[in-house]
A and B are shown apart, each in its own frame.
Chain A
Amino acid sequence: MGRYLLRRVLLLIPIWLAVYTLTFALMQATPGGPWDREKPVPREVREALDRKYGLDRPVWQQYLDYLASVVTRFDFGPSYTSRGRTVNDILADFFPVSLTLGLLAMAVGTTLGVTLGVVSALRHNTWIDYLAMAFAIGGVSVPAFVVGPLLVIVFALGLGWLPTQGWGRPEQAVLPVLTLALLPAALLARYTRAAMLEVLRADYIRTARAKGLPGRLVLLRHALRNALIPVVTVAGVLLGTIITGSFYVEFVFNVPGLGRYFVTAVTNRDYPVLMGVTLLFATAVAVMNLLVDVLYAYLDPRIRYD
């Protein structure tokens, strides 16, 4: 297990380098630069800005310098748009927000999804099952950009129970978390249901019942634990995408996460911010996948990494 982990962690380095190189190449290839403004910036000013931020150096040198500053000092450079702020400030301020939102949504989504999945498997082909699956289909089909504004219309503008936007107070988190939790809840409900139905028909469940074990014990220790293995795979991958892909929900509910930088860093050609956010999100997804693989070994004794 130790060696496997080490290998996986070392594997992050080439992944990371590839993401860096690709992002750098794309930024170089994109026309328009950070100093192209609606009111044209005089040539002298552009040159001064280029000098200040090192954009007057050859491209290969920019590539190496930035890499060196990230690797040796963990310094992602200054933001071109927010003058006086560094990319490190931006990542440190806003990644925790995206992470909190993502984890909360995943917690709500997993609880809801697994519960619905188990219940509908146990009440197979009853109205409860149908209702739960209708929810699941709805959750998968209706995108966040429909659900989010709908929730605002109903609960904030209509009933006035919750604020329309913002972050920091618990009531401000309710709508964004619900919106973001919908997709994982729906997906996990379907996966859990399918897995549970399969497991419940397995021989070892019949054996457990035949031994006279109480129903709840059979369900929790024997059925659910085995049914969760495929669910964990999905949940792990989902967690990565929920944390990194929440930018639409952050936008609708004005949550000050990192997501908005995905868009603004590109439109502003804020190269260091774009690079910092991309590398961070790439790392987050890679680490999440690694965690899932480790979790497998714990859940399924048949899986061993040697």
Chain B
Amino acid sequence: MLALSCRLAIGLVLAAMVVAACRGGPSARDATQAPSEQVLRVPTTEPPTLDPGLATDHTSLDIIWQLFEGLVAFDDQGNVYGVEAERWTVSDDGRTYTFQLRDGLRWSDGHPVTAADYEYAWKRNIAPATASDYANVLYPVLNAQRIHKEGADPSTLGVRAVDDRTLVVQLEQPAAYFLRLAATWTYYPLPRWAIERHGDRWTEAENIVTNGPFKLQAWRHNQELVLVRNDTYWGPRPTLERAIFKVFPEGAEEQWVAAYEAGELDATTTNTPLPPAQADRLRSDPRYQNEIRRFPASATRFIVVNHRRPYLRDPRVRQALGLAIDRERLLNDVLRRAGKPATSLQPEGIAGRKPDLWPTENVQRARELLAEAGYPNGQGFPELTFTYNTADVWKTLGQYLQQRWKETLNINVRLDNMEWKVFLKWRYEPGWTAQGDLYRGGWVSDFEDPYNWYNTLWDSAEDPTQFNGGWGNREYDALVRRARAELDPAARVALYEQAEALLARDYIHIPLFYDQYEVLVKPYVQNFVPSRVLGETPLTKIAIATR
């Protein structure tokens, strides 16, 4: 009797599901209907901050970019253009920048935007008391390091508002990438009066004062952020009237896919990839062919190699490991993730990169290289450890490498995983430097300049606080340090190209793939093209094809 009741219950549930599947559901029909207003609803997670001086993460930045703007910006071709700066001049020695602001710039509360707001923001962000994570991007400015590291007076920073519309910036030494930095959020102006009046709470919806194309109407924590078009904005008027960022918990990708399918969202986000199982289903479903889209990202995933280990010091061994991987299969069949196979470290858009210099996949060649290095058919090669932070995607990657390297090179791999924060810390501990072999790494451009890769990551002076792979090359260091200050663009790219050749020759780390953003976008959402750098949702360009 009991068994019968159970069967009945299960049957009922199954019947309901079948009914649901057959009907396709009214919500599924509604979901394809265009809305009648210029409103966009997208998922997000709770932004840690909306203060441009403190922001470090994608979630915060995706909102901040809509609310604030700075002096200059760059397009995807790498051309600089003025935003609040109408024009600017650079002194012959490359150490003084003079920016002229546009006329008629206004904050959302009606205050004019002045050069003093920039001066205030930079001095506030560099002050150690502000404790800004990204304070070091201000380092090229005169005295910035002395203020930040040695406690000098923040008022000595090399930035000065000569008048309301003229900002003069002194640099410590010429820095060819300074405009790239000046385009980032740490250099945005800030409303001093709002910050001084409300303190840490100045970013709440009722206090915040902004200067971008949108303003913050409401921020219901853990529920939604509502952005509306800013009517005091100087620039072109966005078509979109309102954007609603629905806040989901972290790791709730399944939920926002469901909400998208039920018509509660108009697009998904670039902040997190679609869950692999859902992505598989959606990619193969003809109804979603026009809605699932991929965009390039300025980011590379790779395997960090510990150059302190004697058996990994030989470039032939590193190449053998890299050449044995089948990246196409890894992406499409194993990780089931959007991306483009990478044979080199620097992604598209970074000047100086030369992917052709890097060796390409070739299992036969990989075996030969390993034999030349003294390990024919993997004989005598020690067991390697691959370490990753605990996550399904990296576990799958580890299992693939384990199997692949065993099959092709007869090398044994041990997998080791750690909780996220433990992993991050471990990279600077003896557990890695003395005992580690390989770990999963990756880098996302903060700004699309070669400096952000060649200097920030691979200069041997930076390595110990970055990926800590232990690779260093004096010739390389000299090249990228010269390129940093080289003001002639062509000569600068040539220097980075020489540096790239050294990276390729040494095959310092093992490239895996360049990231792509994979998002769901309803057919009625037009011009949804996220930026290559950090995947900004381009609210100013998006339009809704209304009924």
Nearest A residue to B46 via CB reads A82
- Are the C-beta atoms of A83 and B425 separated by less than 8 Å? no
Q: Per-position contact with A for B383-425: 1 when CB-CB < 8 Å, else 0?
A: 0000000000000000000000000000000000001111111
B211-238 with Cβ < 8 A to chain A: 220-223
Question: Interface size (A, Cβ < 8 Å)?
Answer: 65
Q: Per-position contact with A for B256-268: 1 when CB-CB < 8 Å, else 0?
A: 0011011010000
User: Which of B16, B26, B56 is in CB contact (< 8 Å) with A160?
Assistant: B26
- Are the C-beta atoms of B264 and A164 separated by less than 8 Å? yes
A138 to B254 alpha-carbon distance, docked (Å): 25
- Are the C-beta atoms of B249 and A32 separated by less than 8 Å? no
A149 to B275 alpha-carbon distance, docked (Å): 15
Q: Per-position contact with B for A43-66: 1 when CB-CB < 8 Å, else 0?
A: 111011101100000000000000
Nearest B residue to A85 via CB reads B221
B531 contacts A by Cβ under 8 Å? no
- Hey, which chain A residues are within 8 Å of B249, CB to CB? 250-251, 254, 260, 263-264
User: Which of B27, B46, B133, B422 is in CB contact (< 8 Å) with A156?
Assistant: B27
A96 to chain B minimum Cβ distance, whole angstroms, is 12
- Are the C-beta atoms of A165 and B258 separated by less than 8 Å? yes
- Hey, which chain B residues are within 8 Å of A251, CB to CB? 249, 251-252, 255
B25 contacts A by Cβ under 8 Å? yes
> For the complex, would chain B's binding face be called helix, strand, loop or mixed by DSSP majority?
helix
- Hey, which chain A residues are within 8 Å of B426, CB to CB? 31
B277 contacts A by Cβ under 8 Å? no
Q: Per-position contact with B for A17-46: 1 when CB-CB < 8 Å, else 0?
A: 000000000000001110111111111110
B201 contacts A by Cβ under 8 Å? yes
User: Which of B221, B247, B421 is in CB contact (< 8 Å) with A33?
Assistant: B421
- Are the C-beta atoms of A38 and B255 separated by less than 8 Å? no
- Are the C-beta atoms of A84 and B258 separated by less than 8 Å? no
A120 to chain B minimum Cβ distance, whole angstroms, is 12
Q: Per-position contact with A for B131-169: 1 when CB-CB < 8 Å, else 0?
A: 111011000000000001100000000000000000000
A296 contacts B by Cβ under 8 Å? no
Nearest B residue to A93 via CB reads B221
User: Which of A81, A134, A160 is in CB contact (< 8 Å) with B262?
Assistant: A160
- Are the C-beta atoms of A83 and B49 separated by less than 8 Å? yes
B45 to chain A minimum Cβ distance, whole angstroms, is 9
User: Which of B204, B259, B423 is in CB contact (< 8 Å) with A164?
Assistant: B259
Contact A52:B131 (CB < 8 A) given known A157-B20, A158-B17, A254-B252: yes
Q: Which of A102-110, A125-133, A276-284, A297-305 contacts B (4 or more CB under 8 A)?
A: A125-133
A153 contacts B by Cβ under 8 Å? yes
B545 to chain A minimum Cβ distance, whole angstroms, is 23
A154 contacts B by Cβ under 8 Å? yes
- Are the C-beta atoms of A37 and B5 separated by less than 8 Å? no
Nearest B residue to A31 via CB reads B422
- Hey, which chain B residues are within 8 Å of A190, CB to CB? none
- Are the C-beta atoms of A254 and B136 separated by less than 8 Å? no
Contact A267:B421 (CB < 8 A) given known A52-B131, A157-B20, A254-B248: yes
Nearest A residue to B149 via CB reads A44
- Are the C-beta atoms of B20 and A154 separated by less than 8 Å? yes
- Are the C-beta atoms of A83 and B48 separated by less than 8 Å? yes
Nearest B residue to A42 via CB reads B136
- Are the C-beta atoms of A134 and B133 separated by less than 8 Å? no
A133 to B3 alpha-carbon distance, docked (Å): 11
A134-148 with Cβ < 8 A to chain B: 134-135, 137-138
- Are the C-beta atoms of B262 and A163 separated by less than 8 Å? yes
A167 contacts B by Cβ under 8 Å? yes
A94 contacts B by Cβ under 8 Å? yes
B466 contacts A by Cβ under 8 Å? yes
B128 contacts A by Cβ under 8 Å? yes
- Hey, which chain A residues are within 8 Å of B46, CB to CB? 82
Q: Known pairs A83-B48, A134-B2, A168-B223. 5 more at Cβ < 8 A?
A: A48-B129, A48-B135, A49-B133, A85-B200, A154-B20
Residues of A within 8 A of B (CB): 31-33, 35-45, 47-49, 51-52, 78, 81-85, 89-90, 93-94, 127, 130-131, 133-135, 137-138, 149-150, 152-154, 156-160, 163-168, 250-254, 256, 260, 263-264, 267-269
Listed by A's residue number, 13 A-B pairs whose Cβ atoms lie within 8 Å are A84-B49, A84-B51, A84-B200, A89-B221, A127-B1, A130-B1, A134-B5, A134-B9, A154-B13, A156-B258, A164-B262, A251-B251, A260-B249
